Amino acid sequence: MATNKLDSTKRFEPAFDLSMSTVSNRRMNMQRMQNVLLIWLDNNINDNNADYNNTIKQLKQVVNNVNIFTDGEQCIEFIRTITNNKICMIVSSSLGQIIVPCVHDMSQVDSIFIFSNNQESHKQWVKEWPKIKGVFTNITSICEALKQTTHQCEQNAISISFVASNKKLDQLDPSFMYTQILKEILLTINFEDKHFKEFITYCREAFVENEYDLQNIERLEGDYHDHIPIWWYTYQCFLYSMLNQASRLVDVDILVRMEQFDSEQSGTKFTVYRGQSLSKEDFTEMTKTKGGLLSFNNFLSTSRNRDVSLLFAPQAATNPDRIGILFIISINPTDSTTPFASVADVSYFHIEDEVLFSMHTIFRIGDIQPMDENNALYQVNLTMTNDNDQYLRTLTDQIRKETFPDEEGWYRLGLLLIKMGQFTKAQEIYTVLLHQTTNESDKAPIFYQLGSIKYNQGEYQDALSSLHEALIIRQQLLPSNHPDLGDSYNRIGSVYRSMNDYPTALINYEKALVIRQQSHPSNHPDLGATYNNIANAYSDMGNYPTALTNYEKALEIRQQSLPSNHPDLAQSYNNMGLVYAKMVDYPTALSYYEKALEIRQQSLPSNHPDLGDSYNNIANAYSDMGDYPTALTNYEKSLEIRQQSLPSNHPDLENSHTNMGSVYYNMGDYPTALSYYEKVLAIRQQSLPSNHSDLAQSYNNMGLVHVNTGDYTKALSYYEKALAIRQQSFPSNHPNLENSHNNMGFVYYNMGDYPTALSYYERVLAIRQQSLPPNHPDLDASYNNMGLVYSKMVDYPTALSYYEKALEIRQQSLPSNHPDLENSHNNMVLAIRQQSLPSNHSDLAQSYNNMGLVYYNMGDYTKALSFHEKALEIRQESLSLNHPDLAQSYNNMGLVHENMGDYTKALFYYEKALEVRQQSLPSNHSDLAQSYNNMGLVYYNMGDYTKALSFHEKALEIRQESLSLNHPDLGDSYNNIANVYDSMGDYPKALLSHEKALAIRQQSLPSNHPDLGASYNNIGVVYENMGDYPKALSFLEKALVIQQQSLPSNHPHLGASYDSIGIIYRDMGDYPKALSFHEKALEIRQESLPSNHPHLGASYNSIGIVYRNMGDYPKAVSFHEKALEIQQQSLPSNHPDLGASYDNMGIVFRNMSNYPKALSFHQKALEIRQQSLSFNHPDLAHTYNNMGLVYDSTGDYPRALSFYERAVQIGKKSLSTNHPEYQKWRENLERIKKKL
């Protein structure tokens, strides 16, 4: 591009020496040198044995890369890591039948050789596995067979591109374009003897452990001038496979060093055959492409001798995964634009009558005919063509322009390498050029390119240093509006942007824009680049509308001035996607990312870092949309590309590992997330100083995982490490410092230490107010967090004021496309009239959700429901059906309906939440536990205790697996299980679970936390049911003190505490006190609950019982009737609470001597309790006792005896012998016995 433009000073060709690299950088992975690698698996190998060493030497004469294994599992794991090579395996007889079934169908495995002293014993079973080449008794015979196989693999290794005739003409592999330009550049370089010596040194280092190839290198060095390069290329040594593998992988490092073996291969023109195999997938694609085009993406060896070529095709067909092909190639030299030559007279193999074609020769596909009955061998007619991909040709011409066709040699090569993402090699070239350049004007562009390389490698300080050197020289030598000065300011701006110094970045971009507007036409690509960079800075600063405006200007210019598949257009689409992602419009972001990817796939080599970025961004979008499996697939593609194209310490590689950790984190797979974060941390601890900011990021991520597993102590430890580093490394208002303070606040928030959390959040807010524009989304996040803390501190008005500030920012900072959204919802000032969010914006949904939670915590369920409905409506419009945020909305709707007493609706929403979470989350995710827990609560409130217990136990199981031992959610599970046991009448189990819950909450929550109050309250209720009223009262009073401190005076939970204390005083016979507490409970519930809420029914029931015990039966009946009316409306017909109400009515009518009516109510109670309670539940005993009392009062003593006996029988099983109720039932039984 123009950012690489040089000044007009004439270039010179420097004396170039590539030998400056260190040996450690030169020592190549042998998988790059040859397409085939060999595995020898034998559990009896002795590497100290002389025979072993001789065997290795023989094998390395055939395959340089030999890998020895004695363990089958390790061998299989190694095979799985191989992606760019074919594997031949030698397997010992003892392991053959075990290992072959495991590896045979792996696509990497080409051939298997069984090594055994006994051929006969293996003859039968090996026939079942086509990839087995035979059973061999000695290494010599294996080597002979291996030679044929490896030669065949090299034949088959050339990748092929197909383009159907009905598609765009000739859309071939982008490597075609780059290798053509690379070849064009290399042909302008005058390779000298010193380059040949450099190549020899390079090969010695690569083959240092291979005695055979070292001998060939010695021969090459000594006899090179005795033969022309083609003879050496076809000579049976490392050169053939080395060049072919380098061409296949576009390995520039090897291609540059081997150019002297390539530049002399084009010659006279002539016609031919080629035998090889294709994978079944490639064969199928070729048959579909008949009439279309085919390109061999490498040097192509053919023969005029049909019989010689035909030998290779049937051999290839023995592999069940491949089809044998005999290509019959017709050549009209006058139509061909591709160099080719007959090399029969100069090749090492004279008898093959070889014709060699240059890389990326293109053919038209003709007839495809089977050559045998088994359809394993086909004849394919090809015709050489001069057809070219017009799109690819246009792009090639553009790239050629941008890599300065007027320049020759190493400088232009460096520019192309930068285009290809080969930054390390480009740096090596420019560093040498710099050392050999004395002219200051020539140094400026070299410094500029070195700065650009360092920028792309993530080494920003070094980049700035080189770029400033270039700028100083240019300011001295060039006029103030020279385009090269614009290039310098532009690149310096990009470096500052990457260092998060956005104001300085903008200053430099604006300088570049002024210069380029003066020196270029309005549609010049450099102007597009500047608008793009200005947009980047505004995007980073959170000003998305301005960013989008500038991106659109950049895109418009690029569409006018560049071909439609130019990488800079991809950059524009990619950047617009990033803005839409920040605006939380993930579907639109994804569509832009996919446009960018499509262009990059057409125009860049398959391992270019920009492709890695595209897959990474697509993964981000899927992750944000809650589609974690698809996100993970794309992150893996991105990581694979980055591992191939970037240095091992590049930030983008660590970013990939971090992103994959984040996906597993979002999926609730915290151990796997932690393993990725630990991998990144280990790399950084080894390679970075102890106070490096990237280490802080790693510590931060580790803390994040520990927060979600509930291990707040560990999380705090990691966050403190991150904070300590950032305080040393950054100024006090740096965004990374605010991030640390924010995370510390979050931990303290989760630990229930709200004042400390608030102090950290206030620091964050102060930093953001200083360093960010007033409408930046991060300020919105701060206000939101402050609202959460004030909400927990029960200062709901202040909480709401912060939520409103958060909403106001979202309305200003994100685009508005819905003018009608302007309500003041339920007296909430939402300020959506001037600048508003789109009606389906998910951030708006989150605000509504948060406000709903505030009103829920305040006990205002009607308002809470209103906000949750708004949040749900937006999310249903804007998110995928299985997005976790939808589950959150369903869950919260269920929560409100449950607390409003509408259990049917609550269950409906909880089931929807559970369905979404089961589809989108792993089976042990904590959100699934939440769903099971909530469904358990509904079934508990509906009186279905068996189902309730089942769901609570599922929730507990997940939480025990995924959370730390003292996590508050575990306390919730034990508490809920205890409540179920209490209602089932199993008081010892209830007490045990409540004590577990209390122990966890005492460890993990502050002393005035509402959940501690709930534990004390629930334990008090159990003691009340067990008849230990003093203990019960003690716990209930503790609960009341906490709730009075932490809840508003009209909160429904306070009503529950007053009611429970009233019951204790009633049981202790203090009816005035009991009445006082019940009336307080009723007053709160009337204020805070709907008029038909079951808890109101409970209050009326409690007051009715007190009046009954005080002898005021008319009042008692009145309150019981009110309770019964509410319960009949709001509870299922067999709910235990209805049974209690009927029982209470029966007791009053018995006391009023209306025995028929009393008996009728008791029978209704008995019917419900027999359906809904266990057979030995104490409430059943109550009903039996009450019915006994009625029959006792009517003189029907035998029936009374029967019911008293049932009551005592249940009481003996379910209550302690000193329980007051049990003692009453015993007394009634003894008394009736005396009457009989």
The Cα angle at residue 384 between residues 383 and 386, in degrees rounded to 5: 130
Q: Which residue has better confidence, 464 or 213?
A: 464
Type of residue found at 881? L
Q: Which residue has better confidence, 827 or 392?
A: 392
Q: What pLDDT shows up at residue 248?
A: 42
Q: Which residue has better confidence, 345 or 511?
A: 511
Percent of the chain with pLDDT over 90: 33
- What's the rounded mean pLDDT across residues 482-500? 91
Name the residue ranges covered by the structural domains of the chain.
Answer: 36-156, 163-388, 1121-1235
Q: What pLDDT shows up at residue 853?
A: 80
Q: What are phi and psi of 90, to 5 degrees?
A: -105, 120
Residue 555 and residue 523 in contact, taking contact as beta carbons nearer than 8 Å? no
Q: How is 1136-1150 classified by DSSP, letter by letter? A: HHHHHHHHHHHHHHH
Which of 332-346, 918-932, 1045-1059, 1067-1081 holds the top average pLDDT? Answer: 1067-1081
Q: Which residue has better confidence, 826 or 522?
A: 522
pLDDT in tens, 947-977: 999 999 999 999 888 777 877 889 999 999 9
- What's the rounded mean pLDDT across residues 993-1022? 88
Which of 361-375, 390-404, 845-859, 1136-1150 has the least mean pLDDT?
A: 390-404
Which of 298-312, 425-439, 608-622, 638-652 holds the top average pLDDT? Answer: 608-622
Q: What pLDDT shows up at residue 31?
A: 41
Residue 712 and residue 706 in contact, taking contact as beta carbons nearer than 8 Å? yes
Q: What pLDDT shows up at residue 851?
A: 78
Q: What pLDDT shows up at residue 433?
A: 84
Q: What pLDDT shows up at residue 721?
A: 93
CATH superfamily for domain 163-388: Toxin ADP-ribosyltransferase; Chain A, domain 1 (3.90.176.10)
Which of 146-160, 287-301, 661-675, 855-869 holds the top average pLDDT? Answer: 661-675
- Confidence class for position 1005, pLDDT limits 50, 70, 90: confident
How far, in Å, are 268, 416, 790 from residue 340 at the CA level?
7, 25, 78
Long-range pairs of 479-483 with CB within 8 A, sequence gap ≥ 24: 480/515, 481/515, 481/518, 481/519, 482/7, 482/515, 482/519, 483/2, 483/5, 483/515, 483/516, 483/519, 483/520, 483/526
Q: What pLDDT shows up at residue 788?
A: 83
Q: Which residue has better confidence, 1165 or 270?
A: 1165
Element (H, E) at 425: helix 423-435
Q: For residue 410, give the 3-state DSSP assignment.
A: helix
Q: How is 707-752 classified by DSSP, letter by letter? A: HHTT-HHHHHHHHHHHHHHHHHHS-TT-HHHHHHHHHHHHHHHHTT
- Confidence class for position 231, pLDDT limits 50, 70, 90: low
How do 300-303 and 354-357 pair as beta strands?
antiparallel
* Helix%, strand%, coil% for the chain, nearest 5: 65, 5, 25
- Confidence class for position 540, pLDDT limits 50, 70, 90: confident
Q: Around 45, how many Cα atoms within 13 Å sit in the side-chain half-sphere?
A: 22
pLDDT in tens, 604-626: 878 888 999 999 999 999 988 87
CATH class of this structure's domain 36-156: alpha beta
Q: What pLDDT shows up at residue 1088?
A: 80
Residue 89 and residue 100 in contact, taking contact as beta carbons nearer than 8 Å? no
pLDDT in tens, 1133-1153: 888 789 999 999 999 999 999
Answer whether residue 251 shows pLDDT above 60: no
Q: Which residue has better confidence, 744 or 193?
A: 744
CATH class of this structure's domain 1121-1235: mainly alpha
Q: What pLDDT shows up at residue 435?
A: 86
pLDDT in tens, 870-910: 888 888 876 778 777 888 899 999 998 887 767 788 999 99
- Confidence class for position 396, pLDDT limits 50, 70, 90: low
Cα pseudo-dihedral 220, 226, 227, 233, rounded to 10: 0
Q: What pLDDT shows up at residue 386?
A: 62
Q: What pLDDT shows up at residue 234?
A: 59
How do 86-92 and 354-357 pair as beta strands?
unpaired
Q: Which residue has better confidence, 239 or 763?
A: 763
Q: How many CB atoms lie within 10 A of CB 92?
A: 17
- What's the rounded mean pLDDT across residues 127-156? 86
Q: What are 292's two structure tokens?
A: 């279309």
Residue 431 and residue 20 in contact, taking contact as beta carbons nearer than 8 Å? yes
Q: What is the sign, positive or negative, of the torsion defined by CA atoms of 1027, 1033, 1034, 1035?
A: positive
Q: What pLDDT shows up at residue 359?
A: 66
Q: What pLDDT shows up at residue 823?
A: 25
Q: Which residue has better confidence, 833 or 343?
A: 343
- What's the rounded mean pLDDT across residues 1185-1207? 94
Q: What are phi and psi of 136, to 5 degrees?
A: -120, 140
How do 340-342 and 354-357 pair as beta strands?
antiparallel
Which of 434-443, 562-571, 807-816, 1070-1079 holds the top average pLDDT? Answer: 1070-1079
Answer whether residue 840 shows pLDDT above 80: no
Q: What pLDDT shows up at residue 217?
A: 75
Answer whether residue 942 shows pLDDT above 90: no
Q: What pLDDT shows up at residue 9?
A: 28
pLDDT in tens, 172-221: 455 555 666 666 666 666 666 776 777 778 777 767 766 767 777 788 77
Answer whether residue 1205 shows pLDDT above 70: yes
Q: What pLDDT shows up at residue 411?
A: 80
Long-range pairs of 1182-1185 with CB within 8 A, sequence gap ≥ 24: 1182/1143, 1182/1207, 1182/1221, 1183/1139, 1183/1143, 1184/1210, 1185/1224, 1185/1225, 1185/1228
Answer whether residue 814 shows pLDDT above 50: no
Q: What pLDDT shows up at residue 318?
A: 61
Answer whether residue 6 shows pLDDT above 50: no
Q: What are 1194's two structure tokens?
A: 């009517």
- What's the rounded mean pLDDT across residues 807-831? 40
Bridge-partner residues for 1196, per DSSP? none
- Confidence class for position 315, pLDDT limits 50, 70, 90: low
Q: How is 1094-1134 classified by DSSP, letter by letter? A: HHHHHHHHHHHHHHHHTT-HHHHHHHHHHHHHHHHHHS-TT
Answer whether residue 245 shows pLDDT above 70: no
Q: Which residue has better confidence, 856 or 233?
A: 856
DSSP E strands in 42-85: the ranges are 66-69
Q: Which residue has better confidence, 431 or 842?
A: 431
Q: How is 345-400 classified by DSSP, letter by letter? A: TTSS-GGG-EEEE-TTEEEEEEEEEE-STTS-EEEEEEEE-----HHHHHHHHHHH
